[in-house]
Homo-oligomer: A and B are copies of this chain.
Amino acid sequence: MNLPELQFYKERIEEALDSYLPSASCTPEIIHEAMRYSVCGGGKRLRGALVLIACEVAGGRWQDAMPAACALEMIHAYSLIHDDLPCMDDDELRRGKPTNHRVFGEAIALLAGDALLTQGIATMLNYIPAGLEQAYHRALQELVAASCTQGMIGGQVLDLAAEGKKLTLEELNQIYRWKTGALIRAALRMGALIGKGEPWVLEALTLYGEALGLAFQITDDLLDLEADPQLLGKMVGSDLRKQKATYPGLVGIDEAHRLAAEEINRACAALAPLAENGKVLIELAEAVLKRNY
């Protein structure tokens, strides 16, 4: 995903994450090392960048949304650590490196996930810019709702329950809406709330986020079949090996590409009321469609 704006925000987010996370030399060192290993270990920072861009689009300053962007990145990292554990997906590689539990052991990986969820919340409570107390309260409500059992965790539960089963497209959509969609949707809404956007802006960004989230997940399914594993940083074909339901599995590769493009069109159409203001988000949506990692 080569987009200059994304690169700019990615660098700012990584600096801020470094400042919000406890230092690796702080007792107990091992847990802080494990947290930093997963949070600071690369990643596109798509979710964090969406918070910052949505804040700007809604009329705020991106700097004011930084604690929220970092909280979202920490919560995303916690979900990956727990998802990779042996009792879940049992994955060995993530972003081209051994997964957290392969380096630090299962117990520390479990606790590092717990700590990142907790630290994400702490970041949104402790670094609120002046005058944004209420906006941060609402944004934190969004984040927590999107992370819970009618959001990300609920999606992981449905995903577990679906293993080895034949799903309908509607059932798969429900898993995706919760598992990855909820946090991406929340990213846009958090940014819009912190930017004090009007209700119609919040609504436009929400619709954009919903369509983008689904497109992102469909391209994820396609990358698992088509990507260069070096670029992707994890093994390809793992959905097939785990017999997971996917878009290409249900509708075929060509149709999956077409449906991803359709969602991207929907995402961009939702931004129409924002006119010129939505330009970066349109470019970002197009980059999601073309991404190769």
**Docked pose: A165 CA to B78 CA in angstroms:** 30
Chain B residues with CB below 8 A from A117, complex form:
114, 117-118
**Docked pose: A113 CA to B31 CA in angstroms:** 18
Asked if A133 CB lies within 8 Å of chain B CBs, one says: yes
For window 56-106 of A, CB contacts with B under 8 Å fall at 78, 82, 85, 87-88, 105-106
State the copy count for this chain. Answer: 2
Contact bitstring A112-129, B, C-beta under 8 A = 1, else 0: 011101110110011000
Chain A residues with a Cβ closer than 8 Å to the other chain, count? 45
Known: A110-B110, A137-B133, A149-B31. A144 touches B118 (CB 8 A): yes
Asked if A231 CB lies within 8 Å of chain B CBs, one says: no
Asked if A148 CB lies within 8 Å of chain B CBs, one says: yes
**Docked pose: A145 CA to B156 CA in angstroms:** 27
Can you name the residue of chain B whose Cβ is closest to the Cβ of A114?
Answer: B153
Chain B residues with CB below 8 A from A88, complex form:
107, 110
Q: Are B115 and A87 in contact (CB under 8 A)?
A: no
For window 8-39 of A, CB contacts with B under 8 Å fall at 22, 27-28, 30-32, 35
Can you name the residue of chain B whose Cβ is closest to the Cβ of A174?
Answer: B27
Main secondary structure of the interface of A (DSSP, over half): helix
**Docked pose: A22 CA to B32 CA in angstroms:** 33
For window 156-172 of A, CB contacts with B under 8 Å fall at 156-158, 160-161
Q: Are B87 and A154 in contact (CB under 8 A)?
A: no
Asked if A219 CB lies within 8 Å of chain B CBs, one says: no
Q: Are A22 and B141 in contact (CB under 8 A)?
A: no
Of B107, B119, B148, the residue contacting A118 (CB under 8 A) is B148
**Docked pose: A107 CA to B83 CA in angstroms:** 9
Of B27, B87, B122, B149, the residue contacting A148 (CB under 8 A) is B122
Further pairs besides A78-B114, A82-B111, A114-B153: 12, Cβ < 8 Å: A28-B154, A28-B158, A30-B161, A31-B154, A82-B110, A108-B160, A117-B117, A119-B148, A122-B144, A125-B144, A133-B137, A137-B137
Leading 5 A-B pairs by shortest Cβ distance = A87-B106, A28-B157, A118-B148, A122-B144, A31-B157
8 contacts between A and B (CB under 8 A): A22-B149, A30-B157, A87-B106, A87-B110, A88-B110, A111-B156, A115-B153, A119-B149
